[in-house]
Each structure stands twice: as C-alpha cells, then as structure tokens.
C-alpha cells in the first residue's frame, strides 16, 4: 500500500503516464468531479486556506450573520479525508472531501446554535 501511494505521488507530481492513467489528466478530472454542489439549499465545502485567509473569511461570515443575511458553521482541521466513488477510471468518478475530524458534523452544530438564537434572515 505504501509503495502504491509513493508511486501515485510521483505520477501526480511529475504528470507522468502509466498505462491509460495520466497524472495531469487524472488531477484535472479530480477537480472537475469533486463534490461542490448545494444539497437541501445549503452550500457545503471544504477549503484549504492560510490562517490569514481563514480569519478574513470568518470575519466576513460573522458580518453577514450579524446583518441577518446568512448562518454558517465552520470546523478547522489540519487534515482532510477524501472518499472516491469510481464508476470507471478514465472519466466517471466522484469525490467527496471533508475535514478528517468530523468537519461537516461539527460545523452543523455551530450553525444550529446560531439558528437556535432565532436570528431572522433578511
């Protein structure tokens, strides 16, 4: 398993091609097939950011929450988990990305506490 992971890292880093699997093509497909859609009218996403960018984002979200335009939840982690559903290796695969420490579940907990405060959205 470690050898397969090492080989994968080399293929992706240098854009090599092994059989029909091309590192650059696969990474492009990965980003196109990553889960980014709204479910139940709620946008859910995992973001890789610097601490400075995260601070700016949270300040923006807080401002919007205080103005009554949105509720939000956030969970900060130092690692992520990616689950992949593969229908065929070339095109049809779908990725779900979440932080490794129960990200969405804990973010929802924060958002529900905001909703319990009965802040009305505009």
86 and 100 in a single domain? The answer is yes
79 and 56 in a single domain? The answer is yes
Number of other residues whose CB lies within 10 A of the CB of residue 105: 12
Q: How many domains does the chain have?
A: 2
46 and 103 in a single domain? The answer is yes
Number of other residues whose CB lies within 10 A of the CB of residue 15: 12
Percentage of the chain beyond pLDDT 90 is: 11
53 and 86 in a single domain? The answer is yes
Determine the average pLDDT of the residues in 15-34: 74
Q: H helices of 1-122, where?
A: 2-14, 23-32, 51-66, 103-116
Domain around 79: 36-122
Give the CA-trace dihedral at 108, 29, 31, 12, to 10 degrees.
Answer: 120
Answer yes or no: is pLDDT of 19 > 60. yes
Answer yes or no: is pLDDT of 118 > 90. no
18 and 54 in a single domain? The answer is no
């Amino acid at each position: 398993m470690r050898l397969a992971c090492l080989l994968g890292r080399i293929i992706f880093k240098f854009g090599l091609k092994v059989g029909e699997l091309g590192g650059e093509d696969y990474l492009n497909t990965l980003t196109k097939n990553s889960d980014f859609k709204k479910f139940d009218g709620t946008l859910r996403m995992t973001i890789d950011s610097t601490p400075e960018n995260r601070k700016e984002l949270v300040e923006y979200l807080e401002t919007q929450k205080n103005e009554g335009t949105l509720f939000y939840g956030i969970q900060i982690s130092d690692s992520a988990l990616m689950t992949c559903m593969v229908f065929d290796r070339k095109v049809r695969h779908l990725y779900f990305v979440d932080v490794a420490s129960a990200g969405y579940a804990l973010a929802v907990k924060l958002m529900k506490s905001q909703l319990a405060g009965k802040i009305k959205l505009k």
